[in-house]
Amino acid sequence: MEPATTYQFRVCAVNSAGASEWSEITEASTPPAAPTAVSGLHLKDSSATSLTLGWTRPQSNGEHITHYNIDIGSSVIPTEGPDTYFHVESLKPDTIYSIRVQAVNSVGCGAFSSNARLSTRPLPPAPPRCECVNANHNSLKLKWGDSKASNSLTSLADPCQYTLEMENSRNQFQVVYTGTSVSHKISKLVENKVYRFRMCASNTAGFGPYSQVYEFLTAYANPHPVKGEK
């Protein structure tokens, strides 16, 4: 029988002489039970340190669902209410978690859902280290190495894009290069002047932090040749 369900009954007696008339119809109800198992557990959204879960509401079996328990292997986290979604925080980046969910009502805990293997995203790439490989009187050629994240197999399929910024006369950084190249030449500069740069890397995981500010000095212009006496 189903829990928390009302059934109707009637009875008659039978012997060798035959069957009696039916009794009057009576009703009886089964008691409520714990909820059925949660189904449809899926990932709604994710970041490097969090997962947002969603699932299908199970049958409550006669008593309202009060909350859910989220089992992520290392701990069980109770939700604050009967909503069919939950945001799990403080997780490790680029890590697969085995997660299951159960519903709870005043009778008890229902069966857990099937395990779902869900992964957090990797962290955005670290900033590359920048250096000046050629300083002219009116230009600087800068070069940078791949960020630490680009040494992994994942980043080979997901190359970094680099953003180079230079400080302008208003002490504001503005973009002078964006792309996948690991070098760039900045022209139309002033001789013997310090220029300040910073950069960051990005991929599908997002924009990483800015690097330290680098300072590079342009060279003096070569003197004009001395004209001979007439």
Q: How far apart are CA 180 and CA 163, in angstroms?
A: 9
Note whether 75 and 115 are within 8 A (CB): no
* Both structure tokens of 145: 């190495």
Q: What is the mean pLDDT of the chain?
A: 89
101: amino acid identity, one letter? V
Q: What angle do CA 180, 188, 177 make, to 5 degrees?
A: 15
Q: What's the pLDDT at 148?
A: 47
Q: Exposed e or buried b for every residue in 149-185, given b needs 16+ CB within 10 A?
A: bbeeeebeeeebebbbbbbeeeeebeebbeeeeeebe
| 22-47 per-position pLDDT tens digit | 878 887 777 889 999 999 999 999 99
Report the percentage of the chain scoring pLDDT > 90. Answer: 71
Q: How far is CA 26 from CA 20, 83, 197, in A?
A: 17, 38, 86
| 171-182 per-position pLDDT tens digit | 999 999 999 999
> What number is the average pLDDT over the span 140-166?
71
Q: Considering just the CA atoms, what is the radius of gyration of the chain in Å?
A: 35
Q: What's the pLDDT at 1?
A: 65
33-47, 73-87, 185-199, 212-226: lowest mean pLDDT where?
212-226
Whole-model pTM: value is 0.65
pLDDT at 140 over 90: yes
Note whether 121 and 46 are within 8 A (CB): yes
| 81-135 per-position pLDDT tens digit | 999 999 999 999 999 999 999 999 999 999 999 999 999 999 999 999 999 999 9
Give the H or E element holding residue 56.
strand 51-56
